[in-house]
Amino acid sequence: MTLDNDVAIATAQRQQENGEYKTLMTQNTAAMSLIKMAIERMNKFYNPSFAQTEQATRGGNAVIEMMRTLVADLEKENAVAKAEEDNAQGAYETFMADTKEQRIADAKTLEDKEAAKGEADDAVQANVDAKNAAGKELQGVLDFIMSLRADCDFIMKYYDTRKQARSDEIDALGKAKDVLQGADYSLLQVSQSHRRLRIRQL
């Protein structure tokens, strides 16, 4: 990721700069300590209480002033280096804080994207399920229509035959009724004759 690369580069640069700063401060501090020690010794050597010539004293003082100037320059260099180190460290800490916020924002964005993807997947699945259900329902309707059409075809195909069979059945029922009515009349005559015979016998 670009963000991780930026963090790695910034961290490596900060470590290098901090190492250089510490090396510079160590070297300058050691140099100033040595120069101050030399100044102290030269002061003792060129002290007017000793029997030195005026020319030697002036020369010694000139060297001492030069060393003091060198110490002052080193102190200024240390002050500038410290200021630059503080600024660099502050900038690095700000960058890391911004990076942390960016990571949080990226994580939130990723979470939102994953949530949106999940919702989209759910919607797609719901559409697929609805389509499948609609397909099954449609197939059921088509099957019913096919069955209904088959029934209609069967009825139309055998309509005349069934009509004739029904007509024949009605005729047969009519004839059977007539037969039964005739049988009832004959039975009635037989019953009446039987009653007359019994009366005569009495």
pLDDT digit string, tens, across residues 4-37: 888 889 999 999 999 999 999 999 999 999 999 9
What single letter denotes the amino acid at residue 181?
Q
- Torsion (CA) 74, 76, 77, 80 in degrees, nearest 10: 160
End-to-end Cα, the chain, rounded Å: 133
Q: Return the ∠ at Cα 113 (arms to 107 and 115), rounded to 5°.
A: 100
- pLDDT over threshold 80, residue 47: no
- pLDDT over threshold 80, residue 123: yes
pLDDT of the residue at 51? 46
Cβ atoms of residues 18 and 89 within 8 Å: yes
Give the residue-averaged pLDDT of 100-120: 87
Band of residue 174 on the pLDDT scale cut at 50, 70, 90: confident
Q: Rounded CA gap, 86 and 78, in Å?
A: 12
- Tell me 158's DSSP state: T
Q: Rounded CA gap, 92 and 74, in Å?
A: 26
Weakest-pLDDT range from 32-36, 63-67, 189-193: 189-193
Cβ atoms of residues 74 and 31 within 8 Å: yes
Mean residue pLDDT of the chain comes to 81
Give the residue-averaged pLDDT of 181-200: 59
Domain 2-135 top-level CATH class? mainly alpha
pLDDT of the residue at 135? 86
Give the residue-averaged pLDDT of 110-119: 87
Integer-rounded Cα Rg, in Å, for the chain is 62
Higher pLDDT, 80 or 154: 80
- pTM exceeding 0.85: no
Q: SS3 for 47-86, per residue?
A: CCCCCCCHHHHHHHHHHHHHHHHHHHHHHHHHHHHHHHHH
Higher pLDDT, 75 or 186: 75
